[in-house]
Structure 1
């Protein structure tokens, strides 16, 4: 980082971009697995007697917290 201005140099920006690109496959896998958890919670709420609308609102409000 350029100390006097606190701005990143073009090389530093490129390094950051390269890191993001390298991590993308892992982030996508994480989203896939997280979506399975959300779907599982939604299905569990439905099987417990909540309507789809109620289950969706619970998921929206609480996410994956218990």
Structure 2
């Protein structure tokens, strides 16, 4: 931030946007891989005896944390 008021300049905004665009392919891959973890947890919970609604609530509340 160049200005004392804390506002970004147009060049700084453009740099932020360029960085975001450069990271998008990696973010998309991260989402694709992490979704496999969520699905695996859901499936494991159902296999352990939870019904689908219960398994979904556990995954929603705890994600992939143990």
TM class by smaller structure:
over 0.9
> Aligned partners of 2:22 and 2:43: how far apart in 1?
34
Task: Give unmatched runs, 5+ long, in structure 2.
Answer: none
What secondary structure does 1:43 align onto?
Answer: helix
Alignment-derived partner of residue 2 in structure 1: 2
Name segments (4+ residues, structure 1) moved above 2 Å.
none
Note the C-alpha offset of 1:6: 1.4
What is the count of residue pairs matched by the alignment? 66
TM-score (norm 2): 0.95
Per-residue CA deviations over 1:11-41 (Å, capped at 9, x if unaligned) read: 0100000000000000000000000000000
Structure 1, unaligned stretches of length 5 or more? none
Question: Root-mean-square deviation (CA), in Å?
Answer: 0.7
Query: Within 5 A, what are the aligned runs for 1:22-61?
Result: 22-61=22-61
